[in-house]
């Protein structure tokens, strides 16, 4: 391991158990800072209710660490919005936020749009499909984000529980993480080789950073944020926190291949520095199965400009 990475690991690694929610409330009150939790959700009616309820009970009602608990419904066609609202979240549909800016499908779009309808200084992102998790995810992320004033972005990491029917559960999850994201970072951004889960959907950032980033509208949002933060502010602005174990709904290999293609394109657009427009020779994947034959899958390549540059942003226009 290279010296800067080893040094970063020694100085910028945290463990969620080091942080207590009640202590963090005092720390944030003293600074006048507020926490917003954003949960992007596309067709997550089966799990979003438990995620919202768990966070609301523990971190809104028992200890008031979270000021805003928001679900961004990302073009769901199930009951995600209703379930999330019943569980106590404020719910917005991604395509209805800042409608003058249009709408794109995707998780990155949901996170970018969330900036227009939230006001917290500290933004914590949590996936809606979690099946093994806890409110300590948020406590750990807020703790790590506020432990050092230089920290602008924190990635959660955890054992990735892989729970496939017919197989015994293992911690071998994170196929795109291990086969695409970590190898790409190790080869081209080796400073970031110490980030255990670069694609973690559980991460936190200061609004001042998030609103200034170019955001891919699909699954490229995490790797882009990491690379862009590193380029602009250096490793010292990034931290990571051990959150224990996490399990989620697994996507099929062919669906993850679309994610992998998007990540490669997003990374390629950043190879020379500032994010460029994503340029590819073709923007589709051809996938084959014996039963279904060939299927063409579009790769999402749109990137949103920094929210702070957009009409309506400073007024928090919804
Ligand atoms: O169009 C979409 C697709 C997904 N989601 C939500 O985003 C979260 C993560 O999506 P998921 O399909 O579960 O992604 P994973 O296969 O788990 O992908 C991993 O890797 C991605 C790429 O970095 C990250 O965005 C994810 O958070 C991370 O869990 C979930 O709450 C989804 O409902 C949306 O809001 N809109
Ligand atoms: O991070 C990843 O690589 C994706 O979320 C896929 O994870 P899985 O292989 O555990 O489903």
What is the average per-residue pLDDT within 75-99?
A: 98
Q: Name every protein residue with a CB atom under 6 angstroms from any ligand 2 atom.
A: 160, 162, 173-177, 199, 250-251, 256
- The rounded mean pLDDT for the chain is 96
Give me ligand 2 centre to Cα 22, in Å: 33
- pLDDT tens, residue by residue, 165-215: 788 878 878 999 999 999 999 999 999 999 999 999 999 999 999 999 999
Cβ-based neighbour number of residue 212 at 10 Å: 16
CA of 176, nearest ligand number: 2
Nearest atom in ligand 1 to 128's CA: 31
- Whose Cα sits closest to atom 8 in ligand 1? 127
What is the DSSP track for the chain? --HHHHHHHHHHEEEGGG--HHHHHHHHHHHT--EEEEEEESS-TTTHHHHHHHHHIIIIIIS---SEEEEEE-S-SSSHHHHHHHTT-EEEEGGGTTGGG----SHHHHHHHHTTT---SEEEE--S-EEE--THHHHHHHHHHHSSTT--EEEEEEEE-B--TTS--BSB--HHIIIIIHHHHHHH-GGGGG-S-TT-S-EEEEHHHHTTS-EESSTTHHHHHHHHHHHHH-GGGEEEEEEEEEEEPPPPHHHHHHHHHHHHHHHHTTTTSSPPPP--S--EEEEEETTTEEEEEE----EEPPGGGSTTTTTT--
- pLDDT tens, residue by residue, 205-245: 999 999 999 999 999 999 999 999 999 999 999 999 999 99
What is the average per-residue pLDDT within 247-271?
A: 95
Structure tokens at 282: 């073709």
- pLDDT tens, residue by residue, 99-144: 999 999 999 999 999 999 999 999 999 999 999 999 999 999 999 9
Tell me, what's the pLDDT at 172? 79
Give me ligand 2 centre to Cα 154, in Å: 19
- Whose Cα sits closest to atom 22 in ligand 1? 219
Structural domains in the chain? 3-250 (3.90.550.10)
Give me ligand 1 centre to Cα 70, in Å: 16
Nearest atom in ligand 1 to 181's CA: 23
CA of 156, nearest ligand number: 1
């Amino acid at each position: 391991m290279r010296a800067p990475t080893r040094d970063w690991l020694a100085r910028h690694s945290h463990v969620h158990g080091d942080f207590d929610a009640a202590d963090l409330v005092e720390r944030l009150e003293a600074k006048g800072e507020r926490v917003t939790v954003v949960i992007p959700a596309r067709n997550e009616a089966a799990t979003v209710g438990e995620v919202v309820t768990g966070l609301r009970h523990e971190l809104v009602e028992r200890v008031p660490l979270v000021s805003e608990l928001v679900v961004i419904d990302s073009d769901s066609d199930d009951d995600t919005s209703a379930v999330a609202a019943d569980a106590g979240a404020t719910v917005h549909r991604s395509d209805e936020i800042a409608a003058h800016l249009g709408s794109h499908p995707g998780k990155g779009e949901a996170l970018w749009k969330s900036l227009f309808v939230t006001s917290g200084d500290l933004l914590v992102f949590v996936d809606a499909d979690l099946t093994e998790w806890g409110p300590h995810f948020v406590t750990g992320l807020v703790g790590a984000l506020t432990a050092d004033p230089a920290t602008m972005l924190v990635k959660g990491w955890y054992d990735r529980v892989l729970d496939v029917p017919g197989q015994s559960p293992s911690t071998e999850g994170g196929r795109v993480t291990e086969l695409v994201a970590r190898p790409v970072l190790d080869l081209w951004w080796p400073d970031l080789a110490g980030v255990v889960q670069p694609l973690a959907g559980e991460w936190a950032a200061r609004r001042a950073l998030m609103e200034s980033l170019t955001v891919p509208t699909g699954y490229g949002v995490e790797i882009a944020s990491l690379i862009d933060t590193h380029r602009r502010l250096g490793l010292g602005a990034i931290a990571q926190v051990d959150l224990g174990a996490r399990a989620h709904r697994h996507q099929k290999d062919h669906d993850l291949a679309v994610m992998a293609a998007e990540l490669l394109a997003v990374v390629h657009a950043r190879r020379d520095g500032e994010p460029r427009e994503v340029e590819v020779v073709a923007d589709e994947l051809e996938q084959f199965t014996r039963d279904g034959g060939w299927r063409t899958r579009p790769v999402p390549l749109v990137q949103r400009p920094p929210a702070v540059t957009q009409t309506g942003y400073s007024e928090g226009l919804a």
